[in-house]
Structure 1
Amino acid sequence: MTVSTQHSPAPHPQAPRESAEGHGGGLSAAVLRSTLRRHAAGVTVITVPGPAGFTATSFTSVSLDPALVSFCLGLTASTLDAVRAADRFAVHVLGAADTALASRFARSGVDRFEGASWTADEGGLPLLDGVPAWLSARVTLRQVVGDHLLVVGEVESGGGHHSGPALVHHDGAFAGLAPLEQ
């Protein structure tokens, strides 16, 4: 009979280990924030009828069958009421050339659609022109999770206009993403 034991790896010698214990923020929120700064995330703009929209890095696929996607929005966001009222949303995947668009939709207290090229579909859903890829979805679930609203939707349609390097958010800034040489 072979017995094996599993040891936890020692913390990286150059990075102090922080505990994420506790509830209600504090150190656990700081650990999460500092860890997620190291995670590169794709940048999207989410739009809903109104029009309303915001920049998000929380977009993800949930399921292929049925085709479900999700995003999260902070409960203090200026677009929260519009997202809660919407039965549909659009996700616009941004490319490296879309930094100004990402910055515009990340600003609070301004008309985010001013200067942006967009059209409304037959249901009033704003679709941004010229983005590398987009999709629209019908809301199937809204759930408050912690200090965010989780929204899940079933994909209805989509399209794209061009390819190129993706726009990502990493270490507090936008960056372009290009394939690495193999």
Structure 2
Amino acid sequence: MSTSSPETAVAPGITPPQVMREVLGHFPSGIVVITADGPEGPAGFTCQSFASLSLDPPLITFSPARSSTTWPRIREIGAFCINVLAEDHEHHSARFARSGTDKFAGVDWTPTPSGAPLLPGVSAWIDCELWKEYDGGDHTIVVGRVRHLAAHPARLPLLFYRGGYAVTAPADRA
């Protein structure tokens, strides 16, 4: 039984990028800002493709675009922080998604144990070191080994769903 609608059905083996984006936009994702601090100062970028990968060893994964100019700087540093944005952090999402600007201008932050920038009020943070990288088409699949992490249960995560921001409350807060 097919569940495709005529608007999203494509011929086998042919998947236009705009159709892929529209269909996969029906799956909500969290929004993170990945940060590091090195000799040239702090660096960071917004990323939606982030997930937990393994508990033993503790690993996470994310996928920056191959066109990213920030990921190569963070790769060189080798340690980074995943800042899980909270419900009122749309401004951080937009700021760190821009290219060619000083993304940290006017942004307060504190260093994590690795020295990476920790943004204030995040829902959670994960301090990592680069473990491995893999080819992911027009993206790079990055695996980070978790070194330190913490969560703030009172802070709801910012989500991205069907082209816009969203927030959801857990059942006990609904």
Alignment TM-score, normalising by the size of structure 1:
0.82
Stretches of 4+ aligned residues off by more than 3 angstroms: 10-16, 121-124, 179-182
Q: Deviations over 1:145-172 (max 9, x none)?
A: 2111111011100123462332100111
C-alpha change, 1:67 and 1:13, in structure 2 (3 Å) is closer
Mapping 1:1-182, distance limit 5 Å = 9-12=1-4, 15-19=7-11, 21-22=13-14, 27-50=15-38, 51-121=42-112, 123-161=114-152, 163-179=154-170
* Whole-angstrom distance in 1 between the partners of 2:64 and 2:9: 29
1:130 and 1:162 in contact (8 A); partners too = no
What percentage of aligned pairs have identical amino acids? 35
Deviates further, 74-83 or 55-64: 74-83
Unaligned runs of 5+ in 1: 1-8
Higher alpha-carbon Rg: 1
- Coordinate RMSD, CA, aligned: 2.2
Question: How many residues of Structure 1 are paired with residues of Structure 2 in the alignment?
Answer: 170
Unpaired stretches in structure 2, ≥5 consecutive residues: none
TM-score by length of 2: 0.86
Aligned to 1:4: none
Cα distance in 2, alignment partners of residues 127 and 169 from structure 1: 21
Q: How far does the alpha carbon of each residue in 1:55-92 deviate from its partner, in whole angstroms, 9 at most, with x for none? A: 11111011011110010000111213213313111101
